[in-house]
Each structure stands twice: as C-alpha cells, then as structure tokens.
Amino acid sequence: MSLAGDISAGAPRIHLSQDMRQLIYRLLAAGLLCLALSLASEAFLTANNILNVLRQASLLFFLASGLTLVILTGGLDLSVGANIGLSACLAATVIKATGSPVLGTLTGLAAGCMVGICNGLMVAKLRIPSFIATYGMLWVLHGVTYYYMGGETIHGFPPGFRQIGSGYFLGIPIPVYLMVGFLVAGTLFAQRTVWGQQIYAIGANPLAARLTGIPVDRRLILVYAFSGAMAGVASIVFLARLNSAEGDIGEAMTLPAIAAVLIGGASLFGGVGTVFGTFVGALILTLVLNGMNLLAVNASWQPLVTGVIVIFAVWLDMHGRKKA
C-alpha cells in the first residue's frame, strides 16, 4: 500500500483512480450505517434529519479538513481543539468590543492562522517533531485562553452574524454550503495543484521530496497554517451556531477530528488520504451520535457503541482495500 502510494505520489491521475476505489469501500461503511439506522428508526431517513446530520458534521469537517493536509505530510496537529477555543474567544471579544462581526471574523481567522504558522515554523525550522510541537502549543493555547477568560463566557452576538451558523439558504443550512465549498476547494487543492501534489510527496518520502527540489519547509508551514486557519473557520461557525464562547469549547473536538481523518483512510505515516475521505469520516462519527440519540441508546452504552462502530468501519475499509 505504502509502496504504491510512494510511486503514485507525483502522478495525479493514478492517485485519483486509486482513491476512487478506496472511496467506494469507505462510503460502504457510511452506507451500511445509514441503512441500519433507517431500518431501526423512522426519523432517520428524512430530509430534515439528513440536513441535521450534515450541519452537525460540518464543524468536525472544518477542523478535520485542515488536519488532513498536516497528516498527509506525515505530521500531526494536536492543537486544533485548543486553537478553536482561543480563536473563538478572541473573535467574540472583538465582536463585543467593536460591534463588527466582520472584524471579529477576521480576528478569529487570523488568530487561528497565526497559531498554525507558529506550529509550522516549529516543525519546519526548529525541526521539533510535530506531535511535540503541537502538543506544547495545545498547552500554551489552553493556558492563554483560560487565563484570558477566567472561567467566564462571552455570549450574545448580532443576528446577522449568527446566520453563518444557524441560517438557511434555499432550505439548506449555511454551514452545509460552507462544508461543500471547503470540500471542493480542499479536494481540488490536494489533487489538482502542484502544491497539493508536493504535499503528498513530502508525506510519502520527505527526503526524496527535498532532493527533487520541493521547498519542503515552506510547504510544511503552509499545511500547518491551513490547519490553523480551518480551526479559525470552525471557531467562527461555532460562535455563530452556539452564540457563546468559552475557553474549553474545542477540547472535546481534537480526538474526533483526528479520528475523522484516519477513519477517512489517511495514514499517520503520511502520503495517503483525501479530503473527501475525511468528509466521510466526519460523517460516520456524526451518524453514530445521531443514531444513538434517535434510538435512545442508554448513556452508559454509548461509548462502547461508538468504539465498536469506529473499529468496524476502519476494518471494513481495510478489508475492502486488500481485495481491491
């Protein structure tokens, strides 16, 4: 698998067809889950619930899509959850202070992006392993955010701004449009641009990538900046949806985001994975929660059910890939 990935890293066309086959198996897991749920609960297969699931998946997808690029390079960004917390709190402060959602949004995005660039510099320039660099960043961000907020919450934002998170256009929630937008943009970037292909190449073989003249450091900084910026996007949508910011909002989101990327077929060793796969991964995780709520699974059993389904989904995917 990794060998095939290495060779195809430079050639977009092979990548796509290989991904296509893999995607079918990945979608199969999501499809089976949907089938089981629609048999078990009447409420599942309704237009309302599908839109509901997509909207819920969007936050996780924003976070996981940027992370996908980092994981493609063989790195990891553990700071995304903490980044959401800081970016959301700063954006909320600016909106409250200036009354301008535009300034607030820009602040949130800039803060997220800046954190990402710091991560990128630590990884690319200081050569600190990404796990450690971003784990350290996680603590720094938590520290700053908790100190800044002092256990308070900031709430109540203008209705116009809140449309980003809770509004509809033609009956479809705004976050779903944003998700589709980032899904298409992310896929095109990763599959069809030189930079995207260079990112795959770095993950497949960093030394070879360097030797072939790819500016590895700059690309690394770029992917961490993307990851940070997407955490910024997630923080804005979060604010607009929840109408409230507190320090620990992203804490419970880091692991699910990493899980979404890996369930989506990416490899922690780098070079393998797609943004669309991550979308499917986020969808599976969201479907599990949705299904358990619809079926009113006992709270005590929910962690167990989640674990079993995640493992089963990945097993099915790997099994299918071996056959393909």
Taking Cα atoms as reference points, which of 163, 177, 312, 154 lies closest to residue 246?
154
Looking up tokens 């949508």 gives 237
Task: Please give the residues from 95 up to 114 whose contact with another protein meets the rule CB under 8 A.
Answer: none
300 binds another protein (CB under 8 A): yes
Q: Which one of 11, 293, 304, 307 is in contact with another protein (CB under 8 A)? A: 293
132 binds another protein (CB under 8 A): no
Q: Which one of 81, 112, 196, 247 is in contact with another protein (CB under 8 A)? A: 247
Return the SS3 of 77.
coil
Task: Report the alpha-carbon distance of residue 316 to residue 306 in Å, rounded.
Answer: 15
Q: Which two tokens stand for residue 214?
A: 């790819």
Q: Which one of 38, 93, 243, 306 is in contact with another protein (CB under 8 A)? A: 243
Q: Which residues of 112-128 are buried (b: 16+ CB within 10 A; e: fewer)?
A: bbbbbbbbbbbbbeeeb
Q: Which residues contact 161 (CB under 8 A, 6 or more apart)?
A: 95, 101, 104, 105, 239, 240
Q: 2 or 46: whose CB is closer to another protein?
A: 46
Site track 172-211 with another protein (rule: CB under 8 A), x = hit: ----------------------------------------
Task: Report the alpha-carbon distance of residue 19 to residue 117 in Å, rounded.
Answer: 29
134 binds another protein (CB under 8 A): no
Return the SS3 of 298.
coil
Task: Report the alpha-carbon distance of residue 276 to residue 278 in Å, rounded.
Answer: 5
231 binds another protein (CB under 8 A): no
Residue 116, Cα to own-chain centre: how many angstroms? 14
Q: 245 or 314: whose CB is closer to another protein?
A: 245
Q: 19 or 246: whose CB is closer to another protein?
A: 246
Residue 147: how many CB atoms within 10 A of its CB? 9
- In angstroms, what is the minimal distance from the CB of 111 to another protein? 19
Residue 254 contacts residue 265 (beta carbons within 8 Å): no
296 binds another protein (CB under 8 A): yes
Q: Which one of 127, 150, 170, 207 is in contact with another protein (CB under 8 A)? A: 150
Residue 29 contacts residue 317 (beta carbons within 8 Å): yes
Q: From 49-57, 93-101, 110-118, 220-228, give the range in contact with another protein by CB under 8 A.
A: 49-57
| List of residues contacting another protein (CB under 8 A) | 41-44, 46, 48-49, 52, 55-56, 59, 139, 142-143, 146-147, 149-153, 155-156, 166, 238, 241-244, 246-249, 251-253, 289-290, 292-294, 296, 299-300, 302-303
